[in-house]
Structure 1
Amino acid sequence: MSLTKLSLAVGVIALSTATAFGQKKNETTASMERNAAVSAMQSQNTEGAKSKLLSAKEYIDKAAAHEDTKNNQKTLWLKGEIYSSIVSLGMQTQDMELVMAVGENGMEEAISALKKAYPMGKKYKDEIAATVDRNRIAMNTMASMLYKNEMYGEAAEAYLGQAEFAECVDMLDTLAVYNAAICYDKVEKYEDAAKLYEKAAKAGYNGTTCYVLASAAYRNAGKTDKAMEVISEARKTNPTDKGLLLETVNTHLAAGNNAEAEKALSDAIASDPNNKQLHYTIGTIMIELGKNEEAETALNKALEIDPDYVDAQYQLGAHLVTWASAVKKEASMLGPNENAKFAELDKQSDDIYKRALIPLEKYIAAYPNDKSVLTILFQIHRNLGDSAKAMEYKKRADAAE
């Protein structure tokens, strides 16, 4: 064996070991400086914390750039921890020079490092989770402040940051995603909002509401095909859901497909004609669309299927009372020379009030102490000129708890 070659080999090993040790030292020093920064912040020594964080960054950048340490879990965690701490402290103290010390994409680099570090093993998982939690809280606090100040676009970005930190530990923060969507909706970034609502919906957040909001946002973005795709998918498992059915109708109407809107309702009925809840749902949709006659027909159909369906009794009665009141108000606004029209509307109003009595009196038989319904029955009978019946219901209403 050549001693020269052996000496050379030993020298190479020694050099490699020294280099690796040097990079490990950078990692260790970065950790020590970061710990010193934490102590300074706990002592409210802001300047000291800034100095130590910048020193920690210098060392972790060296470790992150070297082949021997750049893929270490500890290096990656420390980069995420140090970079995010610099940004957080800079934002808190409004020191943009400190924020920019990590560059324009400093927070993205922090998130990227943490995402890469988390699945590497258990050794630093607790530290990574703590870094993530700290940043989620900070982002949420910032987002809430921005939202309160009606800076919705900026709030959306902060909520997204909160969600992105959660993803570092394989968690979907559906509330943060939902809040970001709301903020984008408010600044009319409808497609961005729609994608986030859809993401929350697919994760099961907030029932069918997020599907409805996603579809509505796609509609507002002019993407009616995508809106219909989202709502159709949701209706496969929730065919009678009122919100989904209403959004289906609204999407067709937005696309100018009035016939398709009616067909959607007809198809729903055809698929389950004896479903009282479906007819009830269609009735409430028609109320929201201002289609009084169609609403009355649908609710009566629900009661035809189940005469004791108290929800439909109440809804039909309330709808008819509201409709009758609107007709009476219209009559009261006529001019002094429109007597014939007044008489026509006055009679129409009375007829609708009379129809309202039927479901409401059935309802009050089941719930005899419902003060609000007793009061409505008193008012209807008074308007119809039946003083005796009106006083009977007034006494019952006064006695009800």
Structure 2
Amino acid sequence: MKNQIIIALTFSIGVFSFAQKKELKTAERAIKGTNYAEAKAALSQAEALMSAMDEKSKAKYYFLMGQALYAGGNGSSQDIDKAIESFNMVEGAYASEIAEVKRQMTNNILTKGNEAYEAKDFLTASKHFEHAYRTSEKDTLFLYYAAATAVNVQEYDRALGLYEELKRLGYTGIATEYYATNKESGEEEVMDKTTRDIYVKSGSHVDPGVRKTDSKKAEIVKNVALIYVSQGNNEKALEAMKDARAESPDDINLILSEANVHYKMGNKDKFREILEVATKMDPTNPELQYNLGVIASESDDKENAKKYYKKAIELDPNYVNAYINMAALVLSREEPLIEEMNGLGTSKEDDKRYEELKEERQQLYKDAIPYLVKALEIDDKNINAAKTLMNIYSVTGDTANYKVMKAKVEALEGQ
């Protein structure tokens, strides 16, 4: 009786084994014929027999399933995820075959990702870039692209996960860049070393060189921190900055990123404190001076605001926003004058005071005009500067300039 049971079980296992091989062969033929739906159907049948499969059959199953899901590049985003998972389940076989399929996948996915990016479909581009990394994990740049494009469409939770993965990998984004100048266009072009050397040898390019690209670490940490801020997790945001500053205490970009986090959190005193530290490290940076001017102005510290704006203009005579803010600073003194004028009575003393205030107000306008004129010289499409000038010319009775500026404002509004 025992012998009969053993014979029966052996027979049963043999049937399962035959069924597995049949379904796997059917799937294999279907994939070769690009009939991926049929392949998936056959593999679905084989999956029911998974518990009885030997290691070799399991490896083949996962290999075929990966191909079926990828579908020659036509699989959905979810199918691509599953295809990569399936390939990663293969053990002890098909290493070279999977490497070749993944190479094809990477190229195909990158092409789609670049097309989506060019079309400004950043969500699709981000997912393609992530898939490209999953198929070629030595290319961490793809993971960086995935995170950066996810931020563009405010997919913050997903972007955060990708950025955290980049941090765990120790990604800096620093790369060796080869370049040469195109003799015909006069423009510098970046390319791989072999192509550059061929172009230089052929004479089409000159002035070859090599350099290291800037680190993206500061940008990554900044984005991680800003995502935490957007989620209301300010403590984690500051913790992220603290860790980054500990690694690179002299990195001014990290210092500015930390300042921006404090600004977004409403910690303006801390923002100013950090900017002052940054200003000492980089005293010739006009943007730092300008931002200190903004904070001083918001704190009603007009004298310091004026000092910082003037310093920004001194460092960069074309810093248009500094001119605009200087004009705004001058004109901010108008409101108390108007309030006092409106509160005066009809006595001789009041009439005298009214004329004094009126003259003082006219002088404010005259003081603001040069800053606004300069702003328009730098940026002739700055409609805010044009409108303010138009109104000033109207109030001061400068009819000729008022007409000129009115025409300019109308032209800008019509664009």
TM-score category, normalised to shorter length: 0.5 to 0.7
CA distance in 2, matches of 1:58, 1:325: 64
Cα distance change, pair 221–338 in 1 and its aligned pair in 2 (3 A):
same
Tell whether 2:66 aligns with 1:80: yes
Partner of 2:260: 250
How far 1:235 moved relative to its partner? 0.9
* Number of equivalenced pairs: 285
**CA offsets 1:324-366 (integer angstroms, 9 cap, x no match):** 99669978x99996399659989xx9xxxxxxxxxxxxxxxxx
Write out aligned runs for 1:344-383 (5 A): none
User: Which position in structure 1 is the counterpart of 2:163?
Assistant: 197
| Partner of residue 132, structure 2 | 162
Partner of 2:39: 56
Compared CA separation, residues 328 and 138, structure 1 to 2 (3 A): closer
The aligned residue for residue 27 of structure 1 is 24
Q: For residues 177-196 of structure 1, what are the structure 2 equivalents within 5 Å? A: 177-196=143-162
Q: Which structure 2 residue ranges, 5 or more long, are not aligned? A: 174-214, 295-302, 332-358, 375-415
* Equivalent position to 1:338, from 363, 367, 372: 363
Q: Deviations over 1:253-300 (max 9, x none)?
A: 11111222244457x68xxxxxxx9622795662352549999x99xx
The residue that corresponds to 2:52 in the other structure is 68
Q: Which residue of 1 aligns with 2:198?
A: none
SS state of the match for residue 289, structure 1? Answer: helix
CA–CA distance in 1 between the matches of 2:248 and 2:315?
25
Distance 2:158 2:28 in 1: 39
Which amino acid letter does the alignment assign opposite residue 166 of structure 2? Answer: A
The answer (yes or no) to whether the contact 1:240–1:281 under 8 Å persists in 2 is no
Change (3 A) 1:281 1:238: farther
Q: Distance in 1 between matches of 2:317 and 2:85?
A: 60
What amino acid sits opposite 2:221 in the alignment?
Y
Tell me the residue number matched to 1:145.
Answer: 115
Instruction: Please tell me whether the aligned partners of residues 84 and 135 of structure 2 are also in contact (alpha carbons under 8 angstroms).
Output: yes
Which whole-Å deviations, capped at 9, do the CAs of 1:368-389 have from their partners, x for residues lacking one?
xxxxxxxxxxxxxxxxxxxxxx
Structure with greater proportional helix content: 1
CA distance in structure 2 between the partners assigned to 1:144 and 1:324 by the alignment: 35
Deviations 1:95-147 (Å, cap 9, x if unpaired)?
xxxx6xxxx95444323222222xx22x2122222232222222222222222
Confirm or deny: 8 A CA contact 1:194 1:215 kept in the other structure. Answer: no
Query: CA separation in 2, counterparts of 1:85 and 1:111?
Result: 12
Report if aligned partners of 1:64, 1:70 keep a CA contact under 8 Å in 2: no
Cα separation, 1, equivalents of 2:125 and 2:319: 42
Q: Given that residues 83 and 107 in structure 1 are in contact (C-alpha distance below 8 angstroms), is that contact kept between their aligned partners in structure 2?
A: yes
Q: Name the counterpart of 1:136.
A: 106
Q: Displacement, 1:251?
A: 0.9
Question: In the alignment, is residue 125 of structure 1 matched against residue 95 of structure 2?
Answer: yes
Partner of 2:140: 174
CA-CA distance at 1:233 after TM superposition: 1.0
Match of 1:237 among 224, 247, 250: 247
The structural deviation recorded for 1:17 is 2.7
Give percent identity, aligned residues only: 21
3-state SS in 1 of match to 2:249? coil
**Cα separation, 2, equivalents of 1:264 and 1:232:** 13
Structure 1 residue 243, shift from structure 2 partner: 1.0
Q: Which residue pairs with 2:226 in the alignment?
A: 216
Which residue does 2:7 correspond to in 1? 10
Partner SS, residue 236 of structure 1:
helix
8 Å CA contact 1:70–1:76 kept in 2: the answer is no
Aligned-pair CA distance for 1:191: 3.8
Distance across 2 between alignment mates of 1:327 and 1:30: 71
- Residue 76 of structure 1 deviates from its aligned partner by 0.8
Deviates more, 1:143-152 or 1:105-114: 105-114
Question: Aligned partners of 1:326 and 1:257: how far apart in 2?
Answer: 23
State the Cα distance separating 1:8 from its structure 2 match. 4.4
CA distance in 2, matches of 1:70, 1:284: 69
Partner of 1:319: 315
SS in 1 for 2:271: helix
Unpaired runs of at least 5, structure 1: 38-48, 92-98, 270-276, 299-314, 350-401
Contact 1:191/1:218 (<8 A) preserved: no
Aligned CA distance change for structure 1 residues 288 and 143 (closer, same or farther; 3 Å): farther
- 2:84 pairs with one of 96, 105, 111: 111
Report the Cα distance in structure 2 between the residues aligned to 1:324 and 1:16, rounded to whole angstroms.
81
Q: 1:279 aligns with which of 278, 281, 286?
A: 281
2:255 and 2:368 mapped to 1: Cα distance? 38
Tell me how far 1:229 sits from its aligned partner. Answer: 1.8
How does the TM-score come out when normalised to structure 1? 0.58
